[in-house]
């Protein structure tokens, strides 16, 4: 009997620990990936975005000048709400299993050539779990 109890206890402990290695515990499915983009002054740089288990998506102009316009395009599924705040928020309610789309960065005429960073953050509906990815926008001469 002692052996049977020991095996049952070990099995139960193993099952309890099975999900512990994932970030965020059992809600470890939140991810965000963005791709770098290149554009010349006067053109639009399109940053591809892929996210999973996302409820809210935001972006901040980390190194991008404030006068540059950033817009969201072609998100599937479409967000259930768009909050025009700073930072802007795309909201999916309920949480979307998988989201794809792009952020269009309008590079103004006369923009200084170089590399600029756009930080994109995804969160769950509870706002406790966050994931961040940074895209580099390269402005060509």
53 pLDDT more than 80: yes
> pLDDT tens-digit profile of 62-71?
788 888 999 9
* Nearest-angstrom CA–CA distance, 130 and 128: 7
Span 87-106, mean pLDDT? Answer: 95
Domain with residue 106: its CATH number is: 2.60.40.10
**Residues 104/93, Cβ–Cβ less than 8 Å:** no
> pLDDT tens-digit profile of 100-125?
999 999 999 999 999 999 999 999 87
For residue 85, the model assigns a pLDDT of 86
Please report, for residues 14, 30, 43, 60, 98, the alpha-carbon distance to residue 69 in angstroms, rounded to integers and kept in the order given: 51, 27, 12, 11, 26
Q: What is the mean pLDDT of the chain?
A: 82
Taking phi first (over 0 means left), then psi (-120 to 50 degrees means alpha), and beta for anything else, what does residue 42 get?
left
Residue 66 belongs to some domain of the structure: yes
Residue 12 belongs to some domain of the structure: no
For residue 63, the model assigns a pLDDT of 85
How far is residue 40 CA from its own chain's centroid?
Answer: 25
Residue 14 belongs to some domain of the structure: no
DSSP H helices, the chain, are 2-17
For residue 13, the model assigns a pLDDT of 35
126 pLDDT more than 70: no
Please report, for residues 3, 12, 17, the alpha-carbon distance to residue 8 in angstroms, rounded to integers and kept in the order given: 9, 6, 14
Per the structure, the complete domain to which residue 130 belongs is given by 31-136
> pLDDT tens-digit profile of 31-45?
999 999 999 999 999
Tally of domains in the chain: 1
* Nearest-angstrom CA–CA distance, 80 and 69: 22
Q: Three-class SS of residue 65? A: coil
Q: Three-class SS of residue 46? A: strand
């Amino acid at each position: 009997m002692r052996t049977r109890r020991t095996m049952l206890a070990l099995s139960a402990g193993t099952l309890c620990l099975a999900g512990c290695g994932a970030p965020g515990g059992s809600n470890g499915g939140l991810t965000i990936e963005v791709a770098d983009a290149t554009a010349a002054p006067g053109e639009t740089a399109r940053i591809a975005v892929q996210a999973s288990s996302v409820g809210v998506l935001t972006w901040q102009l980390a190194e991008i000048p404030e006068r540059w316009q950033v817009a969201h395009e072609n998100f599937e599924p479409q967000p259930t709400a768009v909050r025009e705040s700073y930072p802007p928020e795309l909201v999916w309610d309920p949480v979307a299993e998988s989201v794809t789309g792009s952020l269009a960065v309008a590079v103004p005429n006369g923009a200084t050539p170089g590399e600029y960073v756009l930080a994109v953050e995804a969160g769950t509906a509870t706002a406790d779990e966050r994931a961040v990815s940074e895209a580099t926008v390269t402005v060509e001469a």
